[in-house]
Amino acid sequence: MELILDILPAFLTAAWVTLEVSLLAVLIGAACGFVLNGLRALFPRQLDTPYRLFVWLVRGTPFLAQLFVIYFGLPQIGITFDPLQATVVGLSLYGSAYFAEIFRAVWQSIPSGQLEAGRAFGLSRLQILVRIEAPQACRLAIPMLTNQAILILKESSIASIITVPELTMTAGSIVAETFSYAEPYILLGLIYWVLALSMAGLGRGMEHIFSPRVNKGV
């Protein structure tokens, strides 16, 4: 316990870095995924193939390789990021492909009759997208978005390889200084568990808030 109390402040600081990076990546990735799928729905002939190629490429390659390309490869063409920026950009890009597929799945689950009704009322394709499809897709996607957010939280541990001072790097540094493995890595696991549990709770709260209200007759 004495060692855990000594290293706890360093872990709390690192936990804030992990949470900051993860939340930024989730917000940016979800927004990009939503826009990508929305554009694909509006321009299916022009964008279906590029969309599928992007998703196939991002989901088919390891995040570590993508992070190395962003952090070590892009400077060769004049685009430079510091470790924190490279991590946010990499996780956002990585997450956007998964978020886009989540939105695509929920978009396809919306009954086609609603779209036909929208056309019957004279709504344009963009109006149908904004007024009918998007609100339902966002609500239906909340459980899957939450699950993907937790996965991104755990993927952020890879950022330790490019010296981002997040939880995993902090644990490794403490192990190198103290030569104690059990306490740092147990604390590391507990903090990740608390963060994941908090994200799951936030997702359930959002799902409850945005779920349709049903009036029950007596």
Decide if 39 is inside a domain. yes
Amino acid 94: pLDDT: 95
The count of structural domains within the chain is 1
Decide if pLDDT at 185 tops 60. Answer: yes
CA atoms within 13 A on the CB side of 91: 29
What pTM does this model have?
0.86
Amino acid 194: pLDDT: 94
Decide if 105 is inside a domain. yes
Cα–Cα distance between 193 and 64 in angstroms, integer? Answer: 22
**CA torsion 145→146→148→153, rounded to 10°?**
140
Decide if 118 is inside a domain. yes
Q: ∠ at Cα 105 (100, 106), nearest 5°?
A: 100
Decide if 218 is inside a domain. no
Decide if 173 is inside a domain. yes
Decide if 143 is inside a domain. yes
Decide if 133 is inside a domain. yes
**What are the tens digits of pLDDT across the range 134-151?**
788 788 888 999 999 999
**What are the tens digits of pLDDT across the range 33-81?**
989 988 887 888 888 899 999 999 999 999 999 999 999 999 999 999 9
Q: Which residue has the higher pLDDT, 41 or 22?
A: 22
Decide if 174 is inside a domain. yes
Which pLDDT band holds residue 212 (cuts at 50, 70, 90)? low
**What are the tens digits of pLDDT across the range 97-140?**
999 999 888 888 877 777 778 878 777 777 887 778 778 878 88
Q: What is the CATH number of the domain that holds 114?
A: 1.10.3720.10
Q: Which residues contact 38 (CB under 8 A, 6 or more apart)?
A: 103, 129, 134
Amino acid 156: pLDDT: 92
Domain that holds residue 40: 2-210
Q: Do residues 137 and 71 lie in contact, with contact meaning Cβ atoms separated by under 8 Å?
A: no
Q: Tokens representing 40? A: 């694909």
Q: Which amino acid is at 136?
A: Q
Q: What angle separates helix 83-109 from helix 2-42, to the nearest 10 degrees?
A: 50
Q: Which amino acid is at 190?
A: L
Instruction: Write the DSSP string, 31-94.
Output: HHHHHHHHHHHHSHHHHHHHHHHHHHHHHTS-HHHHHHIIIIIGGGGT----HHHHHHHHHHHH
